[in-house]
């Protein structure tokens, strides 16, 4: 669906810009510059304000990235529980380093702050779905759900 159509669906909704950005990102895996400019026009705000919304929230990305966004918590409890080893396994399995996307556009790797599941560390999320007590041995099976 074109970003213009997505934005139009939320034009009369309170807080519609954020809702539109979520829907656009679900469709494109990021917020294209043209979509941000269009949102500014539709919601009658300065372009800088629309960019401010798009860049303020860590969930949004203005950079093209893989469709399946894998985030790993970088808080102290996850770090102590072995997050570095999980990161190494993800990087090895996907052939990319943190902050990058696979060449086929299927996966992106990002760090995130605490996801509030410190009782089950390390934690990763894929497209916001949490995976608890992740170990390097579990990475292949987790990724298989998205291949």
Domain spans, the chain? 3-56, 68-144
What fold characterizes domain 68-144? Glutaredoxin (3.40.30)
Please tell me what DSSP assigns to residue 134: -
The model's pLDDT over 60-111, given as tens digits with 9 standing for 90+, comes to 999 999 999 999 988 899 889 999 999 999 999 999 999 999 999 999 999 9
Please tell me what DSSP assigns to residue 4: H
140: confidence class by pLDDT, cuts 50, 70, 90? very high
- In the numeric block, which tokens belong to residue 127? 């497209």
Residue 8 reports pLDDT greater than 90: yes
Residue 10 reports pLDDT greater than 90: yes
pTM metric for this prediction: 0.82
48: confidence class by pLDDT, cuts 50, 70, 90? very high
Q: How many residues does the chain have?
A: 147
Residue 113 reports pLDDT greater than 90: no
31: CB partners within 8 A, 6+ apart: 21, 24, 25, 54, 60, 61, 62
Q: Are strands 124-126 and 129-131 parallel, antiparallel or unpaired?
A: antiparallel
Mean pLDDT (whole number) for 123-127:
94
The model's pLDDT over 18-46, given as tens digits with 9 standing for 90+, comes to 999 999 999 998 999 999 999 999 999 99
């Amino acid at each position: 669906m074109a970003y213009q159509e997505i934005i139009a669906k939320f034009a009369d909704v309170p807080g519609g810009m954020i809702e539109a950005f979520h829907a656009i990102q679900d469709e494109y895996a990021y917020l294209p510059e043209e979509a941000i400019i269009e949102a500014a026009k539709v919601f009658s705000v300065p372009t800088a304000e629309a960019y401010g919304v798009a860049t303020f929230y860590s969930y949004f990305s203005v950079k093209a990235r893989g469709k399946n966004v894998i985030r790993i918590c970088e808080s102290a409890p996850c770090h102590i529980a072995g997050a570095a080893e999980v990161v190494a396994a993800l990087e090895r399995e996907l052939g990319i380093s943190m902050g990058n996307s696979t060449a086929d556009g299927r996966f992106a790797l990002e760090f995130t702050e605490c996801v509030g599941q410190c009782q089950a560390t390390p934690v990763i999320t894929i497209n916001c779905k949490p995976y608890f007590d992740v170990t390097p041995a579990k990475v292949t099976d987790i990724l298989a759900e998205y291949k």
